[in-house]
């Protein structure tokens, strides 16, 4: 009985080009799947009525003077998505807003710093906790998540 040597099978390599350019780059919206959980958070935040924002003490029109501020919808969205994914540190959220596509999409490719995120959280934490609980209840009612991990569409 002889041992036969196996032939090594070589596979072709895919082209690898980091500085590659695109003739027609994708839109920011195309970079996030339609069923990605971050879209639920954005839809939830965008559907909040004016009275909810008023109860939080947030003016959605901003100030007339000074440097433009980050939109409250973006800041609230970052925190709610952070709660959903287990990221509760303003420094980690700042990093995510620079590095992670769902956060980039959620903020419209803006990069709020940790101080801005922390000040927003500090000022609105009680209402934000209530809103996060409401997002969970809403997601359960929509059958997007279940109480058992195996029944969840989002992992």
Output the tens digit of pLDDT for each of the chain's 155 residues.
556 666 788 889 888 888 888 888 899 999 999 999 999 999 999 999 999 999 999 999 888 888 899 999 999 999 999 999 999 999 999 999 999 999 999 999 999 999 999 999 999 999 999 999 999 999 888 888 755 443 344 44
Comparing CA positions, the residue from 66, 24, 72, 64 lying closest to residue 48 is 72
Residue 128 lies in a domain: yes
Residue 146 host element (H or E): none
Residue 109 lies in a domain: yes
Torsion of CA 78, 81, 85, 91, to 10 degrees: 10
Torsion of CA 139, 50, 33, 79, to 10 degrees: -70
Total residues found in the chain within this entry: 155
Residue 81 lies in a domain: yes
Residue 150 lies in a domain: no
Q: How many domains does the chain have?
A: 1
Look up residue 118 and give its DSSP letter.
H
Residue 87 lies in a domain: yes
The backbone torsions φ and ψ at residue 60, rounded to the nearest 5 degrees and listed phi first, read: -70, -10
The backbone torsions φ and ψ at residue 67, rounded to the nearest 5 degrees and listed phi first, read: -70, 135
Residue 133 lies in a domain: yes
What CA–CA distance (Å, rounded) separates 148 from 155? 11
Residue 38 lies in a domain: no
Q: C-alpha distances in angstroms, 39 versus 32, 36, 122?
A: 8, 6, 25
What CA–CA distance (Å, rounded) separates 73 from 111? 14
Residue 65 lies in a domain: no
- Provide the residue range defining the domain that includes 82: 72-141
């Amino acid at each position: 009985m002889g041992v036969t040597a196996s032939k090594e099978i070589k596979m072709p390599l895919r082209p690898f080009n980091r500085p590659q350019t695109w003739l027609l780059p994708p839109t920011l919206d195309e970079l996030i799947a339609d069923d990605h959980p971050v879209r639920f958070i954005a839809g939830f935040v965008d559907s909040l009525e004016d009275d909810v924002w008023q109860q939080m003490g947030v003016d959605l029109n901003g100030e007339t003077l000074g440097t433009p501020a980050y939109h409250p919808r973006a800041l609230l969205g970052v925190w709610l998505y952070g709660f959903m994914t287990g990221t509760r540190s303003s420094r980690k959220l700042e990093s995510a807003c620079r590095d992670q596509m769902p956060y980039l999409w959620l903020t419209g490719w803006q990069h709020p710093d940790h101080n801005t995120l922390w000040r927003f959280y500090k000022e609105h934490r009680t209402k934000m906790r209530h809103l996060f609980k409401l997002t969970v209840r809403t997601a359960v009612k929509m059958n997007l998540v279940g109480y058992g991990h195996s029944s969840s569409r989002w992992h």
